[in-house]
Amino acid sequence: MKEFQLIEHYFRNKGQKRRDVELSIGDDCALVNPAENKSIAISCDTLVENVHFLADIPAHALGYKALAVNLSDLAAMGAEPAWFTLAITLPSVEAQWLERFSDGLFEIAEYYGIALIGGDTTRGPRSITITINGQVIKGSALTRGGANNGDWIYVTGTLGDSALGLDILRGAKIVNTEDKEYLINRHYYPTPRVLAGQALRNLATSAIDLSDGLVSDIQHVLKASKVGAIIDVSQIPLSSSIKVNLSREEALSYALTGGEDYELLFTVPESQRGAIDTALIHAGVKFVKIGQICAGDKLKLVDDGEPFVPVSRGFEHF
């Protein structure tokens, strides 16, 4: 199967159809028509085999996750998903693999109402690059740079499940049979908090998605906002699956430094705490207060008032 046949069969005329897409796959460029008074939020992620995903990952899961991690970037900005492009590099054309990959990709694309509008295919070591575009009302986008001294720090969901799921797949951890599937699926199928991000607009002062681990990612907020933070590790939300299979210290290590949870960390002034409760409950997202922004530029972890030092697990690309 040649390149254009591959695109035509597996990717063209599939998934979400949007009125704001004037011209999609099949020309030199796509044409889209952004809404008035909205900024375009753009992000790009590359996933490389044996660097960002295991070689034996199910194709459906890879298609789903490749778009989910990009949607998480839009969520962190409070943006509404609109369009994306896909560049896929494959060592060979495998019809069954491509069918399952595109099924996973378009399953999540349909759910979040985002349209595939172009891309590229080439031969080589397997990698997936997605460039995603969203829209947000001008002046309302969440950023990393707005946290202020005294703001409260929150996270959505539970932390550490994805990293433990990955270690199960690697054979580095053994867990109870009843928890294994849940933990692996949290690694394969993260939930981008798109609705939560939109609910936080005009309420939160800063936000970031947790891709490389809480300890690593919150440092970006602190640097951009020129502040420090105190995190109470006893408040870190942990799933029952992680708590019953690990010691408390090990569970906290996964939660703080494991990475790939794709939950949101955000900061909220005291004056907006009630509004945040209402907004996120309405969005159907669980969230927990884990600390507070403070003066300075350091991150302090405490446990019952005592300093806490986790075992480092944060991901770095180089």
pLDDT digit string, tens, across residues 79-121 = 999 999 999 999 998 889 999 999 999 999 999 999 999 988 8
Residue 19 above 90 pLDDT?
no
In a domain, 50, yes or no: yes
Residue that has been written with the tokens 């796509």 in this structure:
30
For residues 302 and 156, membership in a common domain is answered with yes
For residues 215 and 88, membership in a common domain is answered with no
* pLDDT given at position 5: 62
* pLDDT given at position 317: 44
Tell me whether residue 186 is annotated as binding. Answer: no
Q: Of 192, 167, 188, 210, give the one whose Cα is nearest residue 65.
A: 188
Tell me whether residue 261 is annotated as binding. Answer: no
Tell me whether residue 103 is annotated as binding. Answer: no
Q: Of 32, 41, 26, 40, give the one whose Cα is nearest residue 118.
A: 26
Domain membership of residue 7 as a residue range = 3-137
Into how many domains does the chain fold?
Answer: 2
For residues 99 and 160, membership in a common domain is answered with no
What is the Cα–Cα distance from 11 to 49, expressed in whole angstroms? Answer: 21
Q: Of 212, 158, 197, give the one whose Cα is nearest residue 74.
A: 197
In a domain, 198, yes or no: yes
CATH number of the domain to which 296 belongs: 3.90.650.10
Tell me whether residue 28 is annotated as binding. Answer: yes
What band does 2 get if pLDDT is binned at 50, 70 and 90?
Answer: low
For residues 132 and 157, membership in a common domain is answered with no
For residues 277 and 168, membership in a common domain is answered with yes
CATH number of the domain to which 132 belongs: 3.30.1330.10
For residues 129 and 212, membership in a common domain is answered with no
In a domain, 317, yes or no: no
What band does 310 get if pLDDT is binned at 50, 70 and 90?
Answer: confident
Tell me whether residue 277 is annotated as binding. Answer: no
Q: Do residues 217 and 147 lie in contact, with contact meaning Cβ atoms separated by under 8 Å?
A: no
> Which among 108, 137, 166 is the end of a domain?
137
Percent of the chain whose predicted confidence (pLDDT) is above 90:
82
For residues 68 and 191, membership in a common domain is answered with no
The CA–CA distances, whole Å, from 48 to 25, 62, 88, 124, 154 equal 24, 11, 10, 11, 31
For residues 57 and 120, membership in a common domain is answered with yes
Tell me, rounded to whole angstroms, the distance of Cα 164 from its chain centroid.
17
> Which among 137, 168, 198 is the end of a domain?
137
* pLDDT given at position 12: 67
For residues 159 and 300, membership in a common domain is answered with yes
> Which among 114, 137, 160 is the end of a domain?
137
Q: Which DSSP helix (H) or strand (E) runs through 47?
A: strand 38-48
What band does 45 get if pLDDT is binned at 50, 70 and 90?
Answer: very high
For residues 7 and 124, membership in a common domain is answered with yes
Tell me whether residue 282 is annotated as binding. Answer: no
Q: Of 63, 250, 237, give the one whose Cα is nearest residue 164.
A: 250
pLDDT tens column, 216-273: 999 999 999 999 999 999 999 999 999 999 999 999 999 999 999 999 999 999 999 9
What is the Cα–Cα distance from 309 to 214, expressed in whole angstroms? Answer: 13
In a domain, 146, yes or no: no
Tell me whether residue 216 is annotated as binding. Answer: no
Tell me whether residue 225 is annotated as binding. Answer: no
Tell me whether residue 297 is annotated as binding. Answer: no
For residues 81 and 126, membership in a common domain is answered with yes
For residues 170 and 297, membership in a common domain is answered with yes
Residue 15 above 60 pLDDT?
yes
Tell me whether residue 11 is annotated as binding. Answer: no
Tell me whether residue 27 is annotated as binding. Answer: no
In a domain, 143, yes or no: no
What band does 282 get if pLDDT is binned at 50, 70 and 90?
Answer: confident
- State the average pLDDT over residues 162-167: 96
Q: What is the pTM of this model?
A: 0.91
